[in-house]
A and B are shown apart, each in its own frame.
Chain A
Amino acid sequence: NAGVMQNPRHLVRRRGQEARLRCSPMKGHSHVYWYRQLPEEGLKFMVYLQKENIIDESGMPKERFSAEFPKEGPSILRIQQVVRGDSAAYFCASQAVLAVDNYGYTFGSGTRLTVV
């Protein structure tokens, strides 16, 4: 089991470009969470997805950010028209079923986005 895979590990974008971050959950996992870690701040929840459904996007900025988790393929976090304030580390976590009271979460290594 390869664990939670995120790519790219590092991403540099110019202001105004689009950033696409990918997360492949652990095999058999159908629940994906995205978190953002801004410099000097803790990790903050962004969005919770199940296959083909957004369950909770209460932590997502209202504009320029979107997420999907299609039936086939990885979950994608998309940031349009990036600004310098989007520079952060973006982490993905996955779970098989909502048995987190027993198993907790496994995180990927993250994507570090730098906007220049």
Chain B
Amino acid sequence: KQEVTQIPAALSVPEGENLVLNCSFTDSAIYNLQWFRQDPGKGLTSLLLIQSSQREQTSGRLNASLDKSSGRSTLYIAASQPGDSATYLCAVISGGSNYKLTFGKGTLLTVNP
């Protein structure tokens, strides 16, 4: 059974700092890994999708890496801004799972001005 863990559960940083969010998964047989952002009381916004054959993806100030063999992914946020404050969720699609997502519990990020 696939399990996804995100560390830390919460992170508070001053504006402008670079930061890394961590995600680990127990079964390396995944199709892809997706990072989402969730604002309080809102839905999920897809940030980055990394296919199982890829090592990283970049979008603006965000960079996500994937090491399938070790079951790890990181989301790097450069030059953080108060608008980046949200919960960041990591999710994987595992082989033989009917393509359903298994989510971590998320990292609550607060960027202080």
Interface residues of A (CB under 8 A from B): 33, 35, 41-45, 48, 55-56, 59, 91, 93, 95, 98, 100-110, 112
B101 touches A105 (CB 8 A): yes
Say whether B46 faces chain A, with CB atoms less than 8 Å apart. Answer: yes
Say whether B66 faces chain A, with CB atoms less than 8 Å apart. Answer: no
Interface residues of B (CB under 8 A from A): 4, 31-32, 34, 36, 41-44, 46, 49, 51-52, 89, 91, 93, 98-106
List, in ascending order, chain A residues with CB within 8 A of B41's CB: 112
B106 touches A42 (CB 8 A): yes
28 contacts between A and B (CB under 8 A): A33-B100, A33-B101, A35-B103, A41-B105, A42-B104, A42-B105, A42-B106, A43-B44, A43-B101, A43-B103, A48-B98, A48-B99, A56-B100, A91-B43, A95-B99, A98-B99, A100-B32, A101-B32, A101-B51, A104-B49, A105-B34, A105-B46, A106-B46, A107-B43, A107-B44, A109-B42, A109-B43, A112-B41
A35 touches B101 (CB 8 A): yes
Q: A42-B104, A42-B105 are in contact. Are A100 and B31 (CB under 8 A)?
A: yes
Q: Cα distance A112–B43 when bound, in Å?
A: 10
6 closest cross-chain pairs (CB), A and B: A109-B43, A104-B49, A42-B105, A107-B44, A56-B98, A101-B31
List, in ascending order, chain A residues with CB within 8 A of B51's CB: 101-102
Q: Cα distance A104–B101 when bound, in Å?
A: 10
With CB as the reference atom, state the residue of chain B lying closest to A104: B49
* Minimum Cβ distance to chain A for residue B25 (Å): 13
A103 touches B49 (CB 8 A): yes
Q: Cα distance A107–B103 when bound, in Å?
A: 13
With CB as the reference atom, state the residue of chain A lying closest to B51: A101
Q: Cα distance A112–B41 when bound, in Å?
A: 8
Q: Cα distance A55–B34 when bound, in Å?
A: 22
List, in ascending order, chain B residues with CB within 8 A of A91's CB: 43-44
* Minimum Cβ distance to chain B for residue A98 (Å): 6
Q: Cα distance A106–B42 when bound, in Å?
A: 14
Q: Cα distance A22–B21 when bound, in Å?
A: 33
B99 touches A100 (CB 8 A): yes
